């Protein structure tokens, strides 16, 4: 059970860490000053959440590793984030649609985690949910504004949705860790969240005048098991460079 719990908490940390790294790449390059600051603030929220999850994962593991070790000294196949989160930023439409698809999952997952029998998990979820509620409200609003905006913005948002859609199924696929955590009342079954996710997507896409892709489309998977796309190695090379080049360096 302790190993399953460690791996479950590590996944949550990896989700937040990898998406934070992607968003931080927009810093100073946003399409408008307000959006540049907003994306950077979301990245900071996520890295704060990642620190909480990594610290607890290190405690559960009990091998003397720290949150920095878990973030900066693991190779790609030891990360267990969703494939969606490691996808390149692309255009602003791609970044925003990726954020919205994850925010919707993240919000409902954290809502369920608040009921966890593990008090530390429940506490981190409750703290994180305050930030993620804002993330979801913001990304939902922007999807509507751009989807129901100009002909060009609608086309770009529709293209982004269709390109990223194949990575969304993984968020609701149960594996042995998910089943074990659910059996212990520590976490929800991902598949149980699909209905709420679908409902929110349908509402937002209707308001945004965007077409949802076929729900039965083929889905790519592997991130939760450490099998990643070609983008992950490049992301980690950038994210981990300083720690690996100067091991144990301190400011």
Q: What are the boundaries of each domain within the chain? A: 2-245
Distance from C-alpha of 54 to C-alpha of 111, rounded to nearest angstrom = 20
> Do residues 159 and 97 lie in contact, with contact meaning Cβ atoms separated by under 8 Å?
no
CA-CA-CA-CA dihedral for 107, 112, 113, 116, to nearest 10: 170
Judge contact between 205 and 29, C-beta under 8 A.
no
Q: What three-state secondary structure class fits 35? A: helix
CB atoms within 10 A of CB 31: 13
CB 45 within 8 A of CB 1: no
The answer to whether 124 and 193 have CB atoms below 8 angstroms apart is no
What are the Cα distances from residue 56, in Å, to 107, 108, 152?
A: 20, 21, 45
pLDDT of residue 1: 57
SS3 136: helix
Q: What is the pLDDT of residue 21?
A: 97
Four-residue CA torsion sign, 247, 248, 249, 251: positive
What average pLDDT does this structure show over 105-112? Answer: 98
Residue 127 CA to residue 49 CA, distance in Å, equals 9
CB 193 within 8 A of CB 112: yes
Give the residue-averaged pLDDT of 108-132. Answer: 98
| Average of per-residue pLDDT across 67-75 | 95
Question: Is residue 2 very low, low, confident or very high in pLDDT (cuts 50, 70, 90)?
Answer: confident
What CATH class does 2-245 carry? mainly alpha
* pTM assigned to the model: 0.95
Using one digit for the tens of pLDDT, what is the confidence trace for 174-219? 999 999 999 999 999 999 999 999 999 999 999 999 999 998 899 9
Average of pLDDT values for 121-139?
A: 98
Per-residue model confidence as pLDDT tens digits over 136-156: 999 999 999 999 999 999 999
């Amino acid at each position: 059970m302790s190993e399953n719990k460690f791996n479950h908490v590590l996944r949550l940390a990896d989700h937040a860490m990898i998406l934070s790294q992607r968003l931080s790449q927009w810093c100073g390059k946003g399409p408008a000053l307000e959006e540049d600051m907003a994306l950077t603030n979301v990245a900071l929220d996520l890295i704060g959440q990642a620190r909480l999850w990594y610290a607890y994962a290190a405690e559960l593991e009990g091998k003397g590793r720290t949150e920095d070790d878990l973030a900066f000294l693991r190779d790609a196949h030891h990360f267990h984030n969703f494939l969606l989160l490691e996808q390149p930023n692309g255009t602003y439409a791609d970044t925003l649609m990726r954020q919205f698809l994850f925010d919707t999952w993240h919000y409902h997952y954290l809502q369920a985690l608040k009921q966890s029998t593990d008090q530390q998990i429940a506490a981190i979820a409750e703290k994180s949910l305050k930030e993620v509620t804002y993330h979801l409200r913001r990304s939902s609003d922007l999807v509507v504004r751009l989807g129901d905006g100009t002909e060009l913005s609608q086309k770009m948002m529709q293209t982004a949705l269709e390109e990223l859609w194949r990575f969304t199924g993984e968020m609701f696929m149960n594996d042995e860790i998910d089943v074990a955590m659910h059996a212990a009342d520590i976490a929800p079954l991902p598949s149980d969240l699909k209905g709420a996710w679908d409902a929110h997507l349908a509402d937002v896409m209707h308001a945004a005048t965007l077409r949802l892709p076929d729900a039965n489309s083929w889905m790519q998977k592997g991130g939760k098991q450490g099998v990643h796309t070609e983008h992950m190695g490049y992301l980690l090379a950038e994210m981990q460079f300083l720690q690996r080049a100067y091991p144990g360096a301190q400011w």
